[in-house]
Structure 1
Amino acid sequence: MAGRIALVTGAGRGIGAAVARRLSAAGHRVALTARGDLAPAAAACVGETLAVQGDLTDPAAVERIVGTVEERWGPVEILVANAGAAMSAPLTRTTDEDWLRLLELNLTAPFRCVRRVVPGMVAGGYGRIVAVASVAARHGEKYLAAYTASKHGLLGLVRATAAELAGTGVTANAVCPGYVDTPMTDASVATIAARTGRTPAEARAVLAGKQPIGRLVTVDEVADAVLLCVGTAAVTGQAINVDGGAVQS
């Protein structure tokens, strides 16, 4: 699988940065995109990289980002749709703005990315699409209505894409992490601590305790699952849980 052209969204930190490092170490050219500073994540890669800043909630951004990769290297052959966000609120306190914001970033932006890269993948007879979803794509989670709905939708997109492209050489899979030791989880810890009066350490322990292994998942453990999807042509249409055994399926 070495020597392919990869695009990782949300690659500035956390899971996206870990995936970019691993793809680079495997011999791929890696394009990184995110809204923030990409320089540290790009510098941590060992191979050829391309950093393209952009806000995927802007409909024009996907065309600009993918077009830049194509102009520099050629068609995207590996897409890791990792960019996303979360928020916690009771259903009755989830505003229309909250709902639309999470759907736009967690579902519509990946859809646009997939739609844009698929023609080149099919034409080349090879493609790997991996969406970083969540265990919230596998079951309902209280106080996470907008996030859960967006991740359920993302899993549906992956499954429909896999079914439509079966036999073309293009696969589509979702990786579904539990609570991962990332800056996004740090924000969740801060929210829990502020709302409940727990200390940050106690709040972090609550999230760790949601997984039977009793700890947060690491970004490299999620990257392991992404690399499995990239390297295996017979795995498609799947949702691979990386959650310490929280959801058995």
Structure 2
Amino acid sequence: MSETLTGKHALVTGGGTGIGLAIARGLAAQGAQVTITGRRMEVLEQVAGGGLHAARMDVTDEAAVRDTIAAAVYARGPVQICVANAGIAEGRKLHKTDTALWRKIMATNLDGAFYTIRESMDSMVKTDWGRVLAISSIAGVRGLPGAGAYAASKHAVIGMIRSLSEDFLGGPYTFNSVCPGYVDTDIISRNVDAISKRAGVSTDEAREVMVNANRHKRLITADEVAAAALWLCAPGSESVNGQEIKIAGGQVTG
């Protein structure tokens, strides 16, 4: 693979596992130096190396986001690729969604993306090229039964990205959302257990619920999501801006 991103510094939140790790490795393979962040340093350190640099950061902590990104910029230069990937997926019916759960989801999925992008842009705007990607979800473009808080947070991320693309329109920076369906990561395993207990079905039946929710009736791989993210950073994507890239195995309507 050509190293089209040599000399670029990328930041990927939630970069130690799943989609974030797949994107981080793809960016590093193209020559970028990639700061990967997460709450568990031991997880990050296990995958660091080969262009991946571990930094502990809780995206819900505004001061930590500011200080960690500033330290990464000092070490590796301006952030020119920002991937706001860190997120949590929890589903509950409306009457079971208390304020604590609502705030927990918003603090991570929305506030965390906002802090990450804002602090990354502080250095990016001093350069002549930049890409901002937010990992939203198919739940960000349509309703998701039993997950109102999660869907609301992902809808909000898309709205933020659309607005930021307008703020910087005509400049050398693009802002896009990547919206996968159900991806084969640890989140799926946790959701399988939750669905199994909640619905009183076997784990195999619970897994089929998520498999069948994807239009092509299979789980999406993290590498498929990473490929879309890498395309948005590649030459020729300059006019793709303020968009939601849906990865769901078929057409998706709101």
Could you tell me the TM-score, scaled by structure 2's length? 0.94
Alignment of 1:152-167 (within 5 A): 152-167=155-170
Is 1:5 paired with 2:5?
Answer: no
Q: Which moved more, 1:90-99 or 1:115-124?
A: 115-124
Q: CA deviation at 1:50?
A: 1.5
Instruction: Supply the distance in 2 between the matched residues of 1:246 and 1:87 (Cα, whole angstroms).
Output: 24
Q: CA deviation at 1:49?
A: 2.5
- Are the counterparts in 2 of residues 11 and 41 from structure 1 also a CA contact under 8 Å? no
- Of 24, 29, 34, 1:25 maps to 29
Q: CA deviation at 1:125?
A: 1.8
Q: CA deviation at 1:73?
A: 1.1
Q: Which moved more, 1:175-184 or 1:49-58?
A: 49-58
- Are the counterparts in 2 of residues 122 and 168 from structure 1 also a CA contact under 8 Å? no
What corresponds to 2:177 in structure 1? Answer: 174
What corresponds to 2:194 in structure 1? Answer: 191
Q: Which moved more, 1:226-235 or 1:168-177?
A: 226-235
Q: Count matched residues.
A: 246
Q: CA deviation at 1:71?
A: 1.1
Q: How much identity, in percent, do the aligned residues show?
A: 39
Secondary structure of residue in 2 paired with 1:89: coil
Instruction: Supply the distance in 1 between the matched residues of 2:47 and 2:15 (Cα, whole angstroms).
Output: 7
Q: Which moved more, 1:110-119 or 1:12-21?
A: 110-119
What corresponds to 1:111 in structure 2? Answer: 114
Secondary structure of residue in 1 paired with 2:48: helix
Q: CA deviation at 1:248?
A: 5.0
Alignment of 1:25-44 (within 5 A): 25-36=29-40, 37-43=43-49
The amino acid across from 2:127 in the alignment is: G
Alignment of 1:125-144 (within 5 A): 125-144=128-147
- Residues 99 and 246 of structure 1, relative CA distance in 2, 3 Å threshold: farther
- Are the counterparts in 2 of residues 180 and 218 from structure 1 also a CA contact under 8 Å? yes
Is 1:242 paired with 2:247?
Answer: yes
CA RMSD of aligned residues (A): 1.3
- Are the counterparts in 1 of residues 14 and 38 from structure 2 also a CA contact under 8 Å? yes
Instruction: Supply the distance in 1 between the matched residues of 2:47 and 2:110 (Cα, whole angstroms).
Output: 24
Alignment of 1:208-227 (within 5 A): 208-227=211-230
Secondary structure of residue in 2 paired with 1:77: strand
- Structure 1 segments unaligned to the other structure (5+ residues): none
The amino acid across from 2:46 in the alignment is: P
Secondary structure of residue in 2 paired with 1:38: helix
Instruction: Supply the distance in 1 between the matched residues of 2:201 and 2:46 (Cα, whole angstroms).
Output: 33
The amino acid across from 1:16 in the alignment is: G
